[in-house]
Amino acid sequence: MVVIEGNLSSEQLQFFDSNGYLVLESFASQEEIQSMRKRMEQLLDEFDCSSDASVFSTKNQQETTNDHFFESAEKISFFWEEKAFDEDRNLKQPKQLSINKVGHALHEKDAVFNKFSSSDKVSSMLRSLGYKRPVVIQSMYIFKQPGIGGEVVPHQDNSFLYTEPTTCTGLWLALEDATIVNGCLWTIPGSHKNGLVRRFLRDESGVHFDKPSPCYYQEDFVSLEVKAGSLVVIHGDLIHQSFENQSSKSRHAYSLHVVDTNGCKWAEDNWIRRNVDPEPLFSS
């Protein structure tokens, strides 16, 4: 039997079904990693600090979500770290060390990131998970900057990228080693089996959650320390988070979120409202 790169084994699928996540080591090659990191360096060099950009925060999403954020669904947009500025709104360090993330259409608008996002191995893996007509609905390059890389509070991806029925899967690629010290992912194994807790809605007044966040106990979380090149596959209902980076080393990652467009409907009250429908990775 010929095994196609990216295909998941029955053991891997069983682990994913039980735990809600799966770590695929060495999913990206060193060449792919360096290509994406080099391209992001170029994008940052070209980025004009005085241009329109906003702060990104998962703690204050209602306050920091603005037109710049909404328009990023179909653009390459830059978002600052909360702690990047002093009291006079001046950057405390170079822009390269002050950006929280770049998103949300890298996979569409940039050839280097599109090459990985639409690769055969990504499509093969999604076929293994049962996708029929998947689209990448958003992509992000996340920096987790040394010393100021912000916390990402416990959440479920389906809250933000809701389809009926739910179909979101997160693909989180480590572009540098992710450790407990520099802000690796943490998750509650099996929490996806409890279903979706709340939704992040967009209406005339802006964005808001329809319910308050539950309280989570840190002892229920497990850390996912991974090497550069590892891909973490995340079920849309899995509770996951990451802490601030208090180390002197960054934790770069490239994140994709995929939803199916076969037999399901994109919710009109999601924050992403596209003018042009995304192209499917494949149709089967």
If you average pLDDT over every residue of the chain, what do you get? Answer: 91
CA-CA-CA-CA torsion sign (240, 21, 122, 201): negative
Mean of pLDDT values over 154-182:
98
Q: Are 247 and 181 in contact (CB under 8 A)?
A: yes
Tens digit of each residue's pLDDT (9 = 90 or more) over 76-115: 999 988 777 777 778 888 888 889 999 999 999 999 999 9
Which of 71-75, 85-89, 217-221 is predicted least confidently? Answer: 85-89
Tens digit of each residue's pLDDT (9 = 90 or more) over 239-251: 999 999 989 999 9
Torsion of the alpha carbons at 231, 235, 241 and 246, rounded to the nearest 10: 0
Percentage of the residues of the chain whose pLDDT score is greater than 70: 93
HEC readout, 75-130 = CEEEEECHHHECCCCCECCCHHHCEEEEEECHHHHCHHHHHHHCCHHHHHHHHHCC
Q: What is the pLDDT of residue 50?
A: 67
Q: Higher confidence at residue 205 or residue 3? A: 205
pTM: 0.92
- Angstrom distance (rounded) from CA 112 to CA 108: 10
Tens digit of each residue's pLDDT (9 = 90 or more) over 12-38: 999 999 999 999 999 999 999 999 999
Instruction: Select from 138, 125, 228 the least CA-distant residue to 184.
Output: 228
